[in-house]
């Protein structure tokens, strides 16, 4: 694989990492994790409710708005009340207490604990406030490992202690979530996190005794046929859930909405002696991602595919997920790579609808 291919893969992995709410976790070998996943028994759909999973890129307003619409529809037309989220158990329980409280003090404290994560945006906070206002009987189920265990987790344990509930199931599950976080952050094992999220989800879902639920998770966790995104060694959460619940599981990735954007501007660009309208989608910092490259800027050359579809390809590929906007077959792109010395290299790519290593990719072509 040449350098550009390697860097394309690297950037794609970084993009996928952004799809998960918090960093993945670890415990145990990949082999033992795979064995754990394969040990999950299948429950016929008739014995359980339905699961509607939606994958997201965290903190994106357009995606959050769509997720609220989906939850409101499920709440009002399907009678759902249980919303599963990519948060620790104790954060979900704090949100449930907040739902019963008159003010926003609990949410404010939880939100402050999210500082430094993709959840710490006004749009995320507004999403939860809309749920409280429009869907007041919502019950949250946090099924992730123990993120913010030293802040949110510690505070919830103290809350239970002050209420004399140290022997409660809530206290036990909070301690368990804290331990899961310690394992994850101590070993940085994404396989452990993926399997643990699955186990936590199953625990919460099976307790509902046949009720249908909706879940919101990073897109890296919601592909029914996908593997854990950093190692590819075990099935991802949705894949494992599908093995257990079969056709009772529905999954849709909403992450594409983050790239459903308008160009920042439209320019006239001359290529091979012909003028084209070029839609500009911005510049991306590449510091530390591609050796000798400081940034890259993206244009889509409108109505140009027929003119360049026969041009010889160089062998360099760039997967669709590297682009800041949606990519479709039959398009042409210009990418300017600004090097650390200030020089700029212009490259041309086209989307023929072909795949590279299982991923839809554009291919560089030569003007000669």
Question: Within 10 A of 296 (CB to CB), how many other CB atoms are there?
Answer: 23
* Mean pLDDT by groups of 10 residues along the chain of 368 residues: 41 39 34 36 62 97 97 97 98 98 97 97 98 98 98 98 97 98 95 98 96 97 93 96 97 95 97 97 93 96 97 96 96 97 97 90 95
* 280 and 165, same domain (yes or no): no
Question: What local confidence, expressed as pLDDT, does residue 365 receive?
Answer: 98
Domain that holds residue 131: 17-257
Count of domains observed in the chain: 2
What whole-number distance in Å separates Cα of residue 335 and Cα of residue 354?
A: 19
* 118 and 135, same domain (yes or no): yes
What whole-number distance in Å separates Cα of residue 368 and Cα of residue 6?
A: 25
Question: What local confidence, expressed as pLDDT, does residue 47 receive?
Answer: 63
**In whole angstroms, what separates CA 135 from the centre of its chain?**
24
Please tell me what DSSP assigns to residue 45: G
- Half-sphere exposure of residue 261, counting CA atoms within 13 Å on the CB side? 17
* 105 and 207, same domain (yes or no): yes
Question: What local confidence, expressed as pLDDT, does residue 4 receive?
Answer: 43
| Segment holding 337, helix H or strand E | strand 331-339
Domain endpoint, select from 257, 272, 292? 257
Q: Is residue 47 part of a domain?
A: yes
Its pTM stands at 0.80
Q: Is residue 269 part of a domain?
A: yes
- Which residue from 229, 201, 216, 197 is spatially nearest to 255, judged by alpha carbons? 216
Q: Is residue 3 part of a domain?
A: no
* 229 and 299, same domain (yes or no): no
* 268 and 225, same domain (yes or no): no
Is the distance from CB of 248 to CB of 202 less than 8 angstroms? no
From first CA to last CA, the distance across the chain in angstroms is 24
- Which residue from 24, 22, 149, 128 is spatially nearest to 83, judged by alpha carbons? 128
């Amino acid at each position: 694989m040449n350098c550009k291919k390697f860097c394309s893969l690297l950037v794609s992995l970084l993009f996928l990492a952004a799809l998960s709410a918090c960093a993945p976790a670890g415990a145990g070998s990949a082999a033992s994790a795979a064995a754990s996943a394969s040990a999950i028994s299948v429950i016929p759909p008739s014995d359980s409710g339905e699961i509607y999973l939606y994958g997201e890129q965290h903190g994106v307003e357009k995606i959050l708005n769509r997720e609220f619409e989906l939850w409101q529809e499920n709440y009002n037309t399907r009678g759902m009340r249980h919303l599963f989220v990519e948060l620790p158990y104790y954060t979900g329980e704090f949100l449930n207490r907040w739902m019963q409280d008159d003010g926003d003090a609990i949410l404010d404290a939880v939100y402050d604990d999210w500082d430094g994560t993709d959840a710490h945006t006004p749009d995320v906070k507004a999403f939860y406030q809309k749920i409280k206002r429009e869907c007041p009987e919502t019950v949250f189920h946090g099924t992730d490992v123990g993120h913010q265990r030293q802040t949110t987790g510690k505070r919830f344990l103290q809350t239970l202690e002050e209420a004399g509930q140290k022997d409660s199931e809530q206290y036990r599950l909070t301690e368990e979530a804290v331990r899961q976080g310690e394992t994850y952050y101590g070993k940085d094992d994404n396989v452990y996190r993926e399997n643990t999220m699955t186990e936590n989800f199953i625990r919460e879902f099976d307790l509902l005794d046949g009720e249908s639920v909706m879940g919101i998770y990073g897109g890296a966790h919601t592909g029914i046929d996908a593997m854990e995104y950093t190692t590819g060694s075990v099935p991802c959460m949705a894949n494992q859930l599908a093995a257990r619940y079969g056709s009772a599981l529905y999954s849709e990735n909403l992450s594409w909405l983050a790239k459903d954007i308008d160009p920042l501007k439209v320019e006239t660009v001359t290529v091979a002696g012909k003028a084209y309208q070029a839609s500009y989608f911005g510049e991306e910092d590449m510091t530390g991602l591609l050796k000798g490259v400081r940034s890259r800027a993206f244009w889509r050359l409108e109505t140009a595919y027929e003119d360049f579809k026969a041009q010889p390809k160089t062998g360099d590929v760039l997967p669709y997920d590297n682009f800041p906007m949606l990519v479709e077959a039959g398009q042409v792109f210009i990418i300017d790579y600004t090097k650390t010395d200030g020089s700029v290299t212009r490259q041309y790519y086209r989307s023929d609808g072909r795949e590279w290593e299982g991923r839809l990719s554009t291919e560089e072509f030569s003007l000669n």
